[in-house]
């Protein structure tokens, strides 16, 4: 917030979202609007006073934490023709102008947000988005329970697939003029993929995540300037997997191809991608000395033989990329439910079943 006051937002089996003062522990406010359990929260990277929430009531809401909007804090509702079942995950784009959501209906929606706060803020009328600008049921075959932006790309996973998928919406670029609500495709015809951006989607990579069939296991993604982007995922057997996306790109051996995932460029020639069309630095180690930790990957030491090429091959979207590092938490068996990084990426926290909480320190 503008005051610099650190806040903690908490939600769960209640439709209410509680906002706490981190320093004092006092309850500052309660956000009321959802009709059922709240499943996910995300703060806008562009405006830390904006909070997005997902709920079993099939909707996504955007809230203002500013004291000036305390009487009517709900700024926007994404509902209508978006999700048909519970929404399980929501994430802001780094610009703060887009939201992506996934749910039990296997649907992934991209919502183009108006500039917030808008003309309805503070009044009896809350802005409602009835249609997403992109919607698909084709990326995943089960509950979509975790999703994040990677610049203009998307990382997502679902239950019972054993993998994490990196993909892109064809024609979507946050540098283009912002779309208006009138350009969002309607649902008059059934289509697996509907897009306002002139295409479908492209599957780019798949990351191998064994023993992650349980519903509501979530990865954590760290992506900050001048740092290696790190994807981390825990499984049902006390194991944490890590992928360094920058090293993965370097492994491709082609400087042009290696940057396709992080720059807004056309797809380089020769890269295979599964398409769907629309009819309209580092690793980590445990803080415990008892941890079973694999050795860090030294890229120069990996022989470029057929086995290694297959393991880290990024040219085939159907190939599953093995983790660069795996860490097994010792002496206890638990399912890792959520992974989160500190702002600077120095620390990573894993929470899981049976009251487990693990703290990991990143090394350079």
Whether the per-residue pLDDT at 249 is higher than 80: the answer is: no
Whether the per-residue pLDDT at 88 is higher than 80: the answer is: yes
Does the CA dihedral 255-260-266-270 come out positive or negative? positive
Whether the per-residue pLDDT at 260 is higher than 90: the answer is: no
3-class DSSP assignment, residue 9: strand
Task: Give yes or no for a cis peptide into 221 (omega within 30° of 0).
Answer: no
d(CA 287, CA 307): 32
How many CA atoms lie within 13 Å of 197's alpha carbon, on the beta-carbon side?
A: 24
- Residues 6 or more apart from 22 whose CB is under 8 A from it? 6, 7, 8
Does the CA dihedral 160-162-166-170 come out positive or negative? negative
Does the CA dihedral 220-342-7-120 come out positive or negative? negative
* Residue 173 near residue 287 (C-beta atoms within 8 A): no
Structure confidence by residue, pLDDT tens digits, 269-315: 323 344 555 544 333 333 333 444 433 434 444 445 555 556 677 77
Whether the per-residue pLDDT at 85 is higher than 90: the answer is: yes
* Residue 168 near residue 136 (C-beta atoms within 8 A): no
- Return the closest-CA partner of residue 350 out of 342, 364, 363, 360: 360
Q: Are strands 220-222 and 201-208 parallel, antiparallel or unpaired?
A: unpaired
Whether the per-residue pLDDT at 229 is higher than 50: the answer is: yes
d(CA 193, CA 197): 11
Q: Are strands 292-293 and 153-158 parallel, antiparallel or unpaired?
A: unpaired
* Residue 145 near residue 218 (C-beta atoms within 8 A): yes
Beta-bridge mates of residue 66: none
Whether the per-residue pLDDT at 135 is higher than 70: the answer is: yes
d(CA 92, CA 110): 10
Structure confidence by residue, pLDDT tens digits, 13-23: 999 999 999 99
- Return the closest-CA partner of residue 132 out of 170, 178, 78, 175: 78
- Residue in the structure block whose two tokens are 């487990």: 356
* Residue 145 near residue 216 (C-beta atoms within 8 A): yes
Mean pLDDT of all residues belonging to the chain: 84
Q: What is the pLDDT of residue 302?
A: 44
d(CA 49, CA 67): 10
d(CA 257, CA 178): 28
Is 148 or 264 the better-scoring residue by pLDDT? 148
Q: What is the pLDDT of residue 222?
A: 95
- Residue length, the chain? 364
Q: Averaged over 337-342, what is the pLDDT?
A: 95
Q: What is the pLDDT of residue 288?
A: 39
The pair of structure tokens assigned to 310 is 């297959």
- Residue in the structure block whose two tokens are 């802005």: 127
Structure confidence by residue, pLDDT tens digits, 147-156: 999 999 999 9
d(CA 70, CA 350): 33
For the entire predicted model, the pTM comes to 0.85
- Return the closest-CA partner of residue 12 out of 33, 36, 37: 37
Whether the per-residue pLDDT at 347 is higher than 70: the answer is: yes
CB atoms within 10 A of CB 32: 11
DSSP state, residue 353: G
The pair of structure tokens assigned to 338 is 């959520």
Whether the per-residue pLDDT at 103 is higher than 60: the answer is: yes
* Residue 272 near residue 312 (C-beta atoms within 8 A): no
Q: What is the pLDDT of residue 247?
A: 84
- Residues 6 or more apart from 158 whose CB is under 8 A from it? 102, 106, 140, 141, 142, 143, 144, 145
Q: Averaged over 65-75, what is the pLDDT?
A: 92
The pair of structure tokens assigned to 322 is 């093995």
């Amino acid at each position: 917030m503008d005051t610099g006051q650190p806040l903690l937002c908490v939600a769960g089996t209640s439709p209410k979202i509680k906002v706490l003062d981190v320093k004092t522990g006092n309850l500052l406010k309660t956000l009321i609007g959802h009709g059922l359990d709240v499943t996910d929260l995300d703060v806008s990277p562009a405006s830390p006073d904006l909070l997005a929430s997902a709920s079993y009531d099939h909707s996504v809401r955007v809230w203002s934490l500013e004291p000036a909007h305390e009487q009517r804090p709900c700024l926007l509702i994404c509902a209508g023709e978006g999700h048909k079942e519970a929404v399980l995950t929501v994430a802001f784009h780094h610009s703060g102008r887009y939201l992506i959501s996934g749910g039990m209906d296997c649907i992934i929606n991209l919502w183009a947000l108006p500039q917030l706060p808008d003309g309805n803020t503070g009044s009896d009328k809350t802005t409602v988005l009835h249609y997403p600008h992109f919607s698909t049921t084709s990326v995943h075959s089960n509950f979509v329970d975790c999703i994040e932006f990677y610049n203009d790309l998307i990382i997502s996973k679902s239950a019972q697939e054993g993998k994490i998928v990196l993909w892109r919406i064809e024609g979507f670029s946050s540098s283009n003029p912002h779309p208006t609500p009138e350009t969002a495709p309607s649902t008059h015809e059934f289509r697996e993929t509907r897009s306002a951006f002139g295409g479908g989607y492209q599957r780019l990579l798949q990351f191998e995540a064994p023993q992650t069939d349980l519903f509501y296991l979530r990865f954590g993604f760290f992506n900050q300037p001048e740092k290696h982007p790190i994807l981390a995922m825990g499984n049902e057997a006390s194991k944490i997997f890590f992928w360094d996306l920058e090293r993965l790109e370097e492994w491709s051996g082609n400087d042009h191809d290696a940057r396709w995932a992080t720059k807004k460029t056309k797809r380089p020639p020769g890269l295979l991608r599964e398409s769907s069309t629309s009819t309209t630095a580092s690793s980590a180690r445990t803080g415990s000395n008892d941890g079973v930790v694999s050795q860090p990957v030294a890229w120069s030491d990996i022989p470029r033989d057929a086995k290694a090429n297959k393991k880290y091959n990024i040219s085939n979207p159907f190939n599953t990329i093995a983790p660069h590092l795996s860490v097994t938490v010792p002496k206890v068996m638990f399912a890792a439910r959520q992974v989160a990084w500190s702002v600077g990426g120095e620390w990573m926290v894993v929470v899981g079943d049976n009251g487990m909480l693990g703290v990991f320190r990143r090394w350079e």
